[in-house]
Amino acid sequence: MAKTHGHGNPNWTRDETILALDLYFKLNGVVPSPKANEIRELSDILRSMPYHLQAAKQPSFRNPDGVGFKLMNLRQVATGKGLGNVSNTDRQIWAEFGDRPEELHKLASAIILGIGASETEDLPDVELELPEGRLLTALHLRRERHPKVRRMLLDDRRAEGFLCEICDLTRPDLEQPLQEAMFEAHHLIPLAEAGERKTKLADLSLLCACCHRLIHRAMMLKSRWVGLAEARALVVQG
């Protein structure tokens, strides 16, 4: 296999490794030549992702040779045979999805769709990356922070009073603008499942800023989606 000549390229992200492992499964663990259509197609997808636009100007970035090497790395993790310079991300993604190829494929498909969705508006910075990867996390945050989405939720809850659905925080003694400032919209459905469909009230919960950050942190630490009941248990136990 040819050399990638890719020294200095950014490390492979969680999103990219998910896409590579999905291809590995599609190929039934058989790594073809870098000239294979499947390898070239993944190379094109990776080079179109929004976070490495500058690096993608270099021909060595995620080129077919590099994709082939990544598949060999994943084969080493899966079978013990192949290249030995595997990364912690390779091992982590395999540990999470090595026995769940169908779930991985669903996530990979959502990431590919997300690449197209990311072109419509600027993506927010991601501080806490959810298990779905950086791109879907950014799209998730963009939806949650959309003024119309938050306003729709606040308008719906105003009559009954603002209440955090995890910790039960409420401050009716404050002026309404200050009350509103304490609360944020949280999407109950992972973007990998919801796609880019229009957000409905049933998709949302009202959380105080602290609990919203907590539930996102819990998902990051547990490498899976965390629901309101589980987050509430964490708060109560704490």
Q: Do residues 9 and 60 touch, judged by C-beta distance below 8 A? A: yes
Residue 6 inside a domain? The answer is: no
Tell me: do 106 and 21 sit in the same domain. Answer: yes
Q: Are residues 112 and 167 in the same domain?
A: no
Q: pLDDT value at position 121?
A: 57
Say whether both 80 and 145 belong to one domain. no
Distance between CA atoms of residues 207 and 140, nearest Å: 15
48 inside domain: yes
Domain boundary pick from 87, 117, 147: 117
Long-range contacts at 160-165 (CB < 8 A, ≥ 24 apart): 162/206, 163/206, 164/206, 164/207, 164/208, 164/211, 165/205, 165/206, 165/207, 165/228
Domain that holds residue 21: 14-117
Give per-residue pLDDT as tens, 109-140: 989 988 876 665 567 677 677 778 888 888 87
**Higher model confidence: residue 198 or residue 208?**
208
Looking at the fold, whether 26 and 106 belong to one and the same domain comes out as: yes
The residue with tokens 């308008």 is 155
Give pLDDT tens digits for 66-110.
Answer: 999 999 999 999 999 866 778 999 999 999 999 999 999 999 998
Residues 87 and 167 in one domain: no
Final residue of a structural domain among 60, 88, 117 = 117
On whether both 105 and 145 belong to a single domain, the answer is no
Position 31 in a domain:
yes
Residues 98 and 50 in one domain: yes
Q: Is residue 174, in this structure, part of any structural domain at all?
A: yes
- Exposure string of 104-137, with b = 16+ CB inside 10 Å and e = fewer, is bbebbebbbbbbebbeeeebeebeebbbbbbbbb
Is the same domain home to 100 and 144?
no
Classify residue 140: in a domain, yes or no.
yes
Residue 154 has pLDDT above 70, yes or no: yes
Are residues 25 and 96 located together in one domain of the fold? yes
In this structure, are 163 and 202 located in the same domain?
yes
Same-domain pairing of 146 and 195 = yes
Q: Which residues, including other chains, have CB under 8 Å from residue 161's CB and lie 6 or more apart? A: 170, 172
- Give rounded-to-5 percent helix, strand, coil for the chain: 55, 5, 40
With beta carbons less than 8 A apart as the criterion, state whether 21 and 92 touch: no
Q: Is residue 9 part of a domain?
A: no
223: left (phi over 0), alpha (psi -120 to 50) or beta: left
Count of domains in the chain?
A: 2
Q: Among 39-48, 88-97, 213-222, which is the least confidently predicted range?
A: 213-222
d(CA 7, CA 25): 27
Question: What distance, in Å, lies between the first and last C-alpha atoms of the chain?
Answer: 53
Same domain? For 50 and 80 the reply is yes
Of 82, 117, 152, which one is at a domain's C-terminal end? 117
Question: Within a domain: residue 128?
Answer: no
Whether 7 is in a domain gets the answer: no
